[in-house]
Structure formats: structure tokens, C-alpha cells
Structure 1
Amino acid sequence: MTDEPPARALWIEGQGKCALVAEEIAAPADGEVLIRARYGGISRGTESLVLSGGVPEDQFTAMKCPYQAGEFSFPVKYGYCVVGTVEAGPERLLGRTIFCLHPHQSEFIVREADVHEIPDGVPPGRAILAANMETALNIVWDAGLLPGDRVAVFGAGVVGLLTAHIASRVPGAEVTLVDINPQRREISAQLGIGFAMPPDLPRECDLLINCSASEAALSEALACAGVEARVVEASWYGDRAVNLKLGGAFHARRLSIVSSQVGTILSSRSRRWTPARRMAKALELLKDARLDLLISGETRFGALAEAYAEIIASPATLCHRIVY
């Protein structure tokens, strides 16, 4: 008999409806580790689609997150940003602070291969940004960014901010964040990145990256593109259709539109870069203390079910931290 509280997980039981549900946790088998969660992160863009029931049925398999339970037709246990402590498993990992992809849950078992040790210099509370940083790194790879490029990143959410942050470190790159929310100007400035609202967009860009999930932004990207520029669509629209005018200068300027999705590493890099190596690099990139600006608030796990829908709905939310 123990006074230890049972493990609990956040389940989305229906459109806009959540609950914390008790979970049975067995002892880890060989090759597995038991994790006690310390912090989690809410990825507003993807999780808002899940909460609203906006994942199309033909994408249920592609959108499934590691260790997900249930289905997107509800109920579903979803989420993918957890920092925790190894409580049981191989001796070399005991007591280590790790990042892993797992739904929002206070205690859980994962495969040893799925945990990533957090490097020195990265506070555990900031490490919840690792999945978003990994996505941003993959976007920059897919974009083919080169020194000196004029770059516009549309959407100053977490992924857009991190993408612009990485891009701005390329020598000579002229990077501008574009967003309709003027409050994002300040955080952009603190990260040392230029900012523009739609009336003042940069022109003749070499590279344009859309992280906004907005078809208007994608159209604006095409309008700002220089000859033979590359437009990278990094958003995911769920079941929403996108109307795009491909007349005008689209053909005359020989523009390219390519997609970026973190589930696949660019083929020209995949022989050298495994997902584990990519995640290790993403964690290393989180050593910059300015990235704490992307944590827009926090909530105790015990109150998450009641607060989740409001957190998701708020346009002020960047990465919302869960404290276990």
C-alpha cells in the first residue's frame, strides 16, 4: 500500500472537452525507462487542431504522435513535449533529466531509445521547446537557406520565431518576421530579428517561409517573392481548404512552393542525420537564454483540464508550460 498518487494523463474526450484520467503504470521492461514528468509544453498550433476535431480522417495515421492512445475521432490522449526525470531503467540514465515525445502525463514508460538527455546549459523548463526547435531546424534545412539571403518568415508563433532565430544566425541573412499581431514586434526585437506587419512587407525576397497556417500569408509570400524565389509552406491546415491564386507573376517569376514536415529528414541529409542526432542539435540550440521569451505562461498539471481550451484559444499563447 502506498500514498503515491496514481499517474494521470490529459485526455481530449470530445471537441473542446478535456479530463485528467488515471493511468496504470507497470514496471519498465528491458530497454524501457520510467519517467516522472517535471515540465510539459503545449504546442498551440497542432493541439488546437486536435482539440477542435480538425484532423481529417485520411490523416489520422500521419498525425499520430508517439505513445498516443485513442483516436482523433475522440477520445484521444495527445501531446508531444515532456521533460522529466528517469526513475527506473538502465543505471546510466537513473536520475537524469531528459526530453521525450509523449502526451501530457505525469508518469509513463517509454523506450530507452526515445529519451534524449538535456545538455548542460539548457534549463529543464526551457527544454520543452525542443520539439518546436527540431521542427524549425528541419524547416531551415528544407528551405535551403544560404548566406546573404533575404528571408521573410510569416507567423510569429513558436515555430516561426524559432525558424527566424535559426535563420538570423546564418551569415549575412536578412531576416524579417511577419505577423498581424503588433505585440510580436517586441519579442522579435529582443531576439534581434526584424519585424513587419503586412503593409510593410519586404520585397524581392529570396526565401519565404510560411509558419502561420494562413492562406492570406501564403498569398502575401508569393507577392513578395523575387525571381526564382522559394516559398516553403511549413504550416499544416488540417481539414481546411486553401485557395491560392497562381496567376499573375507566379509563372513569370518561376516561383517554387515546397512543403516542410518534421516527420521526414531531407533526403540529401538523411544518410548522415538520424532523428536522434537532429534532436540532440535542437536541444543544443536551446542554450540561448533569450528563448525563455517564448514561454508565455504556465499552469499546474492538476488544473490543466479546466484551463486547456482557454490556453489553446488565446492568441497570446506561444509555448505554454505545464508544471507537474
Structure 2
Amino acid sequence: MLACVIHGQGDLRVDELTAPSPGPGEVLVAVSHGGICGSDLHYWRHGGVGDFRLREPMVLGHEVVGVASSGPLAGAAVAVHPATPCGVCPECAHGRRQVCRDTRYLGSAARTPHVQGGFAAEIAVPAGQVRPLPQGLPPRRAVLAEPLSVALHAVRRAGAVSGRRVLVTGAGPIGALVVAAAKAAGAAHVTVTDLLPAALGYARAAGADVVVRADDPADPGWPPETDTAAAVGVDVAVDVAVEASGTAAGLETCLRLVRRGGVVVQLGMLPPGQSPFPGNLLVSREIELRGAFRFDTEFDDALRLLAAEPAFDALVSAVVPVREAESAFALAADRSRSCKVLLSFGD
């Protein structure tokens, strides 16, 4: 079978691998589509994600859908939840399985041996990770379940957002989905900042009320130096800010624009090592800074939301055959031309 394998920084290959056989408690899934995530791009371009570094060849991919070919769901269209928490560590015992200290996550170099991913024609996964697609949900849209789950978890980490003003820094696929998640949770107003007009267009399609070029040369007041959000199209400071760009500059923007006593959620994975940020603002304004990592039960909520809202289709930019994986990765890395790029594993 064909699989998309990263062998090292810049060394992406479409390899012929032996098809797996399901073990006890596993289900075989014939993958139809896989979404290229920012982490997949980081493994390709930099040889790692954050502090997770490649040490051996690894099948990429954790956003996959297909058809179950074994088990009770055989023949059904399914999505695959990419995480297998250990179930016994203190985090799992206290209901925070998304930060399980011994989890297995498809296509992740967080542990060695690495957990092989889902960008393959067939994969064998624990039966508990397989979800039937809701009626009427096409596989192409269903691929968004994993990144939408990440967005839903980030919004929930912010607390109640109903009726509140939200800022999102970064309008990549995750940032755009944070917009949709915030709107679904009842946010009254969502502002998005990014450097690229095309990315801001996707954020607008996801439901953003205001989009702002973060480096707009026509706006000498951006980025702002005060605790007012007038520069991003609202007349009062935002209640919640979600940092989805994975940059120190994005985090600084969130800290400066959120109201006193507000909440900032760091969702984007920052570069390895230390990242500077204006920590005194946390103190003087009593801002709450919270991290958001992956997700847990939000996966089922994401599938239901995707089934109910065809507008998510606008975030899928292209579907590329797996044999052309390198060109698909190049397209996904070019945010001026794409939002979410999918690999196709069909004939």
C-alpha cells in the first residue's frame, strides 16, 4: 500500500508499505482522505514540532476518514479519533485525557518509537477510536473533525463565551475553525488578525465579524500599545483572546487587547525553547493565561457540528492524490493559496 512517510527534515516520500493486519481490539480502516495539518508541515520543513523531534521514519497524518473494513462497523464511513490515552495516569483519572502523560497520538514523534500516522491506504486502530459519520456528512468535510475538535477545546478552555467579544490571532485552518467554534458557542463578536489577506478571507467565511491585517501599513495604530481594542474594529476591549498563530508576537497582541481580568488561551504551538512575552500585563491586569492542547470528547461534537453546517466546505482548498504528496504539502504550506489541503487515497 502507499503511505506518506517523513524520513527527516525536508525528506518526504510516498513509500510502499505492507498493509497492516488488525490486532486484538483493533479495526482496519481503508483511508479515503487525510487532512494536512500544521504539525505535518513542521515535521516536513523543520524535522519536528515544538520539542517533539524526528528520530526515525514516520507515517504522517492524524486527520483521517475512510471506510471500516473489519469489526462491527465494517462497510460504514468512519472518522478516526487520533488519540489513545493510557487511562490510568493522574491526568486521565481526573478527566484531562488530552494531556495524558502516556498517550499515543497518530503521526506523533512525542514518544520513541514514534506513533505511526494515518496517511496510508489502510490503518489498524483501536476500535474505540473509530466513529461512524453522521448521516449526510461527506468524507471531504468530515476530515475537518480533528482540527475542529482542537478549536472546540480551545474555546472551552476560555470558559463561557456566549455574548462575549473574542479575538483570534492567526487565521490558518485552526484559527478559522476557532472562529466557527466561538460562533457556535454563542460569541457575540469575533475579530481575527493575520498577515495574509487570503487567510483572512477564510476567517471571514468561517464567520468572523471583523478581519484585520496585522501589519497593515495604512494603520499606524496597529499593533496597539494600550488596553483598547479599537484598532481591531471594536470599541471595547475583548473578553477572550485565542492565540492561534504560534508566535510570540501573536501572544503579545492577545495580552495587550484582552480586557483587564480577561482570558487568553495559547493554542498555537510556540517555537522550541523560550518565547518572550509581556508578563507584567498578566500581573497588572490580572489576565488569565491558559494553554489548550489537542482535545478529548470534543471529537463527537465536531462531527455533529460538521454534519449540520455545509459552510465548512469553504475551508477545504484542494484534494490531491497521495502520489503527489510533496506538491500537496507545498500547497498547504502556502497560506496565500490554501486553507485546508487534503490527500486522497482512493483509486
Normalized against structure 1, the TM-score is what? 0.83
CA distance in 1, matches of 2:205, 2:5: 36
1:73 aligned residue: 55
1:42 aligned residue: 36
Shift of 1:28: 2.7
C-alpha change, 1:145 and 1:179, in structure 2 (3 Å) is farther
Structure 1's consecutive aligned runs of 4 or more residues displaced over 4 angstroms after TM superposition are none
C-alpha change, 1:279 and 1:169, in structure 2 (3 Å) is closer
* Aligned residues: CA RMSD: 2.0
The size of the alignment, in residue pairs, is 289
CA distance in 2, matches of 1:104, 1:39: 8
Which letter does structure 2 place at the counterpart of 1:97?
Answer: A
CA distance in 2, matches of 1:40, 1:186: 23
C-alpha change, 1:129 and 1:31, in structure 2 (3 Å) is same
2:300 aligned residue: 280
Picking from 267, 291, 294, the partner of 1:259 is: 291
CA distance in 2, matches of 1:184, 1:312: 12
Instruction: Tell me the SS of whatever aligns to 2:33.
Output: strand
**1:166 maps to 2:181:** yes
Shift of 1:26: 4.5
C-alpha change, 1:291 and 1:208, in structure 2 (3 Å) is same
Shift of 1:309: 4.3
Contact map agreement 1:47 1:312 (CA 8 A) in 2: no
CA distance in 2, matches of 1:115, 1:238: 32
Picking from 67, 71, 74, the partner of 1:94 is: 74
**1:196 maps to 2:229:** no
Unaligned runs of 5+ in 2: 83-116, 215-221, 223-230
Shift of 1:147: 2.1
Instruction: Tell me the SS of whatever aligns to 1:125.
Output: helix
CA distance in 1, matches of 2:12, 2:294: 27
Contact map agreement 1:116 1:279 (CA 8 A) in 2: no
1:269 aligned residue: none
**1:17 maps to 2:11:** yes
Which one is further off, 173-182 or 25-34? 25-34
Normalized against structure 2, the TM-score is what? 0.77
CA distance in 2, matches of 1:117, 1:77: 24
Contact map agreement 1:86 1:94 (CA 8 A) in 2: yes
Contact map agreement 1:8 1:21 (CA 8 A) in 2: yes
- Identity over the aligned pairs, expressed in percent? 26
Picking from 169, 182, 185, the partner of 1:154 is: 169
Unaligned runs of 5+ in 1: 1-6, 61-70, 264-274
Shift of 1:183: 2.2
1:270 aligned residue: none
After TM superposition, the structure 1 = structure 2 runs for residues 289-308 of structure 1, keeping only pairs within 5 Å, are 289-304=310-325, 306-308=326-328
**1:129 maps to 2:161:** no
